[in-house]
Amino acid sequence: MPNYVIAEASRWEFLSQLSKEPNNTVIELVRDKTATEKRVSEELRGQSNVRLAQAGYSSLQPIPSCQNADTTQFTGSGLDYLIANAGLMPQFDAYDPIGVLGQRREVLEEYLTKYFKVNVVKKVIALTSGQAALDMIPNYKTEFSAQYSKEGVVFMSICPGMADTGLFAAVTLEQMQGLMGIWKSFEEYAPHFKGPRVENGDGGSFVSHYGNQQWL
């Protein structure tokens, strides 16, 4: 009976997938506990294996408390998986190149600082992108996997494919036109691609949702 802690489970997909298995115990760390409780009650009605805990991610303060928390009060045993899904994802830099963003230097500097403080952390399992598949990047995961394999810890990077996180729910018409240009390049790269799919891989590897180096 695996036990999971998910940082920022309000992005939902990890929670909805893992909680389907009744033998799993899923503990969510969320910034907006009220909103997540409402969604859980509406969409995961009747599932008793979900627990909620409020946490922030803009400083290192919550990390020791989470690390030392007694998970046995929820699970009856220790913790099996910690999924670091939290991150800062504002839409300020989602559509424009750096040359355009640089015209608002103060705002750009503010967001870069926030990104560094919140997003630049070491994770055991990293949700990543095929666009980051440089030869040197998988080597870091391989190194960590070799170092900790004797302790039973697996390090991986996984590209989840296309996932609806709600990030583009409020895009403007102009921004949507820019996104359509990106989609066109995706279609040229992978004409067969019609929707999301997720699969697993092996420790120390860097794989897409197909389990190989095909990113779409």
Which candidate, 187, 189, 211, 186, places its Cα nearest to that of 198? 211
Strands 156-158 and 206-207: parallel
Fill in the DSSP letter of residue 53: E
Q: Which residue has the tokens 């990293």?
A: 126
Residue type, 205: S
**Taking CA 130 as the corner, what is the angle to CA 203 and CA 118, rounded to the nearest 5 degrees?**
80
Q: Which residue has the tokens 């940082």?
A: 7
How many other β-carbons are positioned within 10 Å of the β-carbon of residue 153?
12
CA distance 175 to 187: 19
pLDDT, residue 58, reads: 60
Fill in the DSSP letter of residue 159: -
Whole-model pTM over 0.75:
no
Q: Are the C-beta atoms of 42 and 19 separated by less than 8 Å?
A: no
Which candidate, 76, 82, 66, places its Cα nearest to that of 6? 82
**Taking CA 180 as the corner, what is the angle to CA 196 and CA 110, rounded to the nearest 5 degrees?**
90
pLDDT, residue 11, reads: 66
Q: Are the C-beta atoms of 157 and 128 separated by less than 8 Å?
A: yes
Cβ burial of 51 (10 Å; 0-12, 13-18, 19+) is middle
Domain 3-165+197-207 bears CATH identifier 3.40.50.720: yes
Which candidate, 53, 58, 59, 66, places its Cα nearest to that of 90? 58
Per domain, the residue ranges of the chain are 3-165+197-207
pLDDT tens, the chain, 216 aa long:
788 888 776 667 788 888 888 888 888 887 778 888 888 888 887 678 888 877 766 655 544 444 444 455 555 666 788 787 777 777 777 777 777 888 889 988 888 888 777 766 544 555 666 655 555 555 555 666 667 777 777 776 677 777 666 777 777 877 777 777 777 777 788 887 765 444 444 555 667 777 777 877
CA distance 210 to 216: 8
How many other β-carbons are positioned within 10 Å of the β-carbon of residue 180?
9
